[in-house]
Amino acid sequence: MLVHFINATLASELVAPITRVEILNPYNEKEHLDDKLSIVDLKAKDEHGRVYQIEIQLLFFSNLPARMLYTWADVYSQQLQSGDKYHELNPTYSIWLLGENAIKHDDQYIHRYKFRDEAGIPLIEHGGIWLFELEKFNAQVIDNEQTRWLRFFKEGKQLNDENNLPDWMNTQEMKQAMNTLCQFS
């Protein structure tokens, strides 16, 4: 399910779909005693070394954007150890599913933050932060896997009968996701 979710979420970003991931320790370890410890919901690495951080945040708070950038930078920087070279860094993708809106002045439910200047010229193509504001998401037509997953995250808890699912849930991945949700519930 995780591979399918990442491929669906980052379909326009990934050159080729990933085929496997390794779940990593969600604790971003401190290098020094007085460093801030950060813990993410899920951290994984794919077969190409790209790192993924996935967070579900139901409530928006004023310092959340700083936390988003901090945890992305923490996950990104932990790829290198003393003596490693910067060319060994791999792209890091942070995916945030937000229950409340973060961007108040915009109707778009997807926001992609990458490292570019005002003219759109990239400094480096090393991932970025993807925000999915579920409160704004209202697609009735499911025309790709990304919208299918977003609708699941928005409406899945209201679907309490895993044997009587709507048509848009009629895929192997959605049935498995619903089964998992029912088990946790």
The model's pLDDT over 87-131, given as tens digits with 9 standing for 90+, comes to 999 999 999 999 999 999 999 999 999 999 999 999 999 999 999
What is the domain partition of the chain in residue ranges?
A: 2-27+35-79+89-137, 148-185
Q: Which residue has the higher pLDDT, 138 or 164?
A: 138
**Computed from CA positions of residues 99, 178, 5, 74, in that sequence, does the dihedral angle turn out positive or negative?**
positive
Least Cα distance to 68 among 91, 17, 102, 29 occurs for 102
Q: Report residue 73 as tokens.
A: 């930078």
Say whether pLDDT at 35 is over 80. no
Predicted TM-score (pTM) of this structure: 0.90
